[in-house]
Structures are given as structure tokens and as C-alpha cells.
Amino acid sequence: MRLLLVGYGKMGRLVEELALARQHEIVGRIDVGSDRWAPADVAIDFSTADALAGNFPRYIEMRLPVVIGTTGWTDRLHAYRAQAATAKLGVVAAANFSVGVNLFEMLAAEAARLMQAHPQYGSWIHEAHHAAKRDAPSGTALLLRDAMTGAGFSRGIDLSSTRAGMIPGTHTIGFDSASDTIELTHTARDRRGFASGAIAAAEWLQGREGWFSMKDVLRG
């Protein structure tokens, strides 16, 4: 594939490294001070929520399928989906492209479903990331919360965040009663799982129209 990288920070550079190893071509890198939008098969956007507001109209204009790993823009989700549908554009958007995190989301939903019948348990989600991550709570934490409520958990879920050092990403869901505590934790060792998942999503997206999630990619 010919890939256009939008956002050339740590994730963008890692996507480039792994994409080249898979014999893909990088046709351009869009970042602060660089605005050369080359024709491509798919764009992979790991920019920022603010930058996406300017980037998304370019994807529509160019009919350029896009994998969006940027978070913090859910307030614009319905508008973007409507624009993509009108343009018949292919989009894969996910708060987290890690296969492990997506499986963890399924576990969180099942735990929440089981716990709904036991009102003595309160629930929380805590996430920790590196100091440079801007959005808090993380998009993955919000994804986990939505999975839990979608599974029928109707009690409050407390959300908290830590930003420190170089933490690549840790998410814990917990249930606590007077007698015991249950915790499930996913810890990312590095960012390679996120980057390789984004590349897999870009490969899967070719030739498709519509708005998709990472679960669609994993289902094939």
C-alpha cells in the first residue's frame, strides 16, 4: 500500500518503521510545518483531536480512506460519520488498536454483566499513561466504560487518570464490596501493538466503504 502518515510523533514514526518492514510505501508525512498531502491508498492519523478537525475535511475532499487512532474528538463523531457516509469513504476509528485491549474490552463487558446482579459491588476504571498524553481520561477508558454500561451495568463507574513519566498505557477495571475487591488489568509493554494494529486496519480497509471499528477488523 501507499500510506500517508498524519501526525509524525512517536506513534507515527513507529507506524512508519513497521509499515516499511511489511513492504508498504510511505508517500508523505503530515505534521506541524508540513502540509504536503500526497495521493495515497490509506491515511493513518495519529495527530491530535484539534488537528483532526482540519484533517477530516481533507480526507473527504480527497476520497482518502483513513485509519484514525487520534482520541478526544467523540463530540464530533456523528458529524464525521455523516460526512463519511455522504462521501462513501472508508474509515476505521478506534480509541485503541491493540488486539489485547480489544479482547480486554470484551472481558470488561462480561464482568460488568455478571456484576450487575450484585449491588454490593461498586465499580471504577483507572488508567495511567505517559506525561505527554493530552486527553484524560483516555479514549480506551471511555471505551471500557461504554462497554460496561452497554452490557447492562447501571451503577456509577468512577473514572480516574494518572499522567507521569513514560508509562505506555495501563487500564484497570475494578469492583469493590465490603468483603473483597476484584480487579482486571491490561498493561501495554510498548506501543508496537498499537502501531501494528493500525497497519492491519489500513490493510483491511482497502476497497471498503463505511465506518468501522477495530472489532470489525478482527472479525475479518
- Determine which one of 24, 126, 129, 171 is catalytic: 129
- Determine which one of 133, 171, 186, 215 is catalytic: 133
- Partners of 126 in the beta sheet? 160, 172
Catalytic: 10?
no
Catalytic: 129?
yes
Closest-CA residue to 15 (of 169, 200, 170, 165): 200
Residues belonging to the active site: 129, 133
